[in-house]
Structure 1
Amino acid sequence: MALTLEQIRNDVADCLGEDPADIPVDENLVDHGLDSVRIMALLERWRRAHDVEADFADLAEQPAIQAWASRLGVA
């Protein structure tokens, strides 16, 4: 199953213990409490479940859901 923008948002919300509706897609996720350990955990989850080919630097450079979706080839 392909990774979707909604799945990214849901996974980030789960990681932060928040409601997905409270996680903006265009804001810096670090400002919402996402740290490097959680970014790595998300990346590993997506690698296993969705065969994502990205590394930590790809996500850490622009920690926003829309930026990640673009980088990960999500439509």
Structure 2
Amino acid sequence: MTASLTLDGFRADLAELLYQRPDDIDLEEHPLSAGLDSLRITTLLERWRETGVDVTFLELAECTSFAQWWQLLSARRELAP
């Protein structure tokens, strides 16, 4: 397992797939409006699962902002062994 997921790592992962700088990520933006598609979301899911965070595509799809994604991932991260 790789290092645990941090907010900085979360922002960096999003920025990489959105071709932005991590500081330019607006956490209140809707993931689809920001330019993510299902393939990129799946890529992020796989990356985050490697850090021990158990989350599903459907759970992310129900969220309306990157901030909600982070809340979900943070909660799951705390439950990870």
Task: Could you tell me which runs of 5 or more consecutive residues in structure 2 were left unpaired when the two chains were aligned.
Answer: none
TM-score under structure 1 normalisation?
0.85
Q: How many residue pairs were aligned? A: 74
Q: Which one has the largest radius of gyration?
A: 2
Q: Distance in 1 between matches of 2:42 and 2:71?
A: 18
1:28 aligned residue: 30
Task: Could you tell me which runs of 5 or more consecutive residues in structure 1 were left unpaired when the two chains were aligned.
Answer: none
Bigger relative contact order, structure 1 or 2 (CA pairs below 8 A, ≥6 apart): 1
Tell me which stretches of 4 or more aligned residues in structure 1 moved more than 2 Å: none
Q: CA offset at residue 64 of structure 1?
A: 2.3
CA contact (8 A) 1:47 1:53 kept: yes
TM-score under structure 2 normalisation?
0.79
